[in-house]
């Protein structure tokens, strides 16, 4: 039963990322004033960041189990899968936790980076994370 869940998790994670990035955030900005939409979307991305760390942790733990090796692809080792998962963790830590700490100062025109630059960096990290999770989901279907 565990291998089935482990193969399912990357697809669920990808669905979460795509749902937030392509549906929830743009929809909120379409129907709410920008300040209100920004607050709601910020809260959604906070939850997404914690969920992404949980998904990555669960998958990393599953890959550590000896009978789960090479779960995402027919390979003798799982180094590639682990590297992809650690890259998603890095994208989450940099794209949400590091950038969100700089946002309040940027909104007030202070700090080294502008709000637009920080928003762009956050978007790039989110996009890279989504691509990495897409590769994980793709590899999970080939196992």
- Write down the pTM of the prediction: 0.86
Domain holding 134, by residue range, is: 2-141
Question: Where is 93: in which H helix or E strand?
Answer: none
**pLDDT tens column, 114-140:** 999 999 999 999 999 999 999 999 998
Question: What band does 30 get if pLDDT is binned at 50, 70 and 90?
Answer: very high
**What is the C-alpha separation between 32 and 107, in angstroms, rounded?**
19
Please tell me the number of Cα atoms within 13 Å of 70 on its side-chain side: 6
> Number of folded domains in the chain?
1
How far is Cα of residue 110 from the mean position of the Cα atoms in its chain?
Answer: 28
Between CA 100 and CA 111 the distance in angstroms is 13
């Amino acid at each position: 039963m565990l291998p089935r869940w482990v193969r399912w998790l990357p697809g669920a994670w990808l669905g979460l990322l795509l749902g937030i990035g392509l549906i929830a955030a743009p929809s909120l900005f379409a129907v709410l004033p920008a300040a209100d939409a920004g607050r709601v979307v910020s809260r959604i991305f906070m939850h997404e960041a914690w969920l992404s760390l949980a998904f990555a942790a669960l998958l990393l733990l599953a890959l550590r189990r000896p009978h789960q090796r090479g779960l995402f692809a027919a390979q003798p080792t799982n180094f590639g899968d682990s590297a992809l998962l650690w890259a998603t963790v890095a994208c989450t830590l940099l794209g949400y936790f590091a950038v969100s700490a700089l946002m309040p100062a940027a909104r007030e025109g202070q700090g080294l980076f502008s709000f637009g630059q920080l928003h762009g960096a956050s978007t790039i990290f989110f996009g890279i994370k989504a691509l990495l999770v897409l590769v994980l989901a793709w590899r999970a279907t080939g196992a």
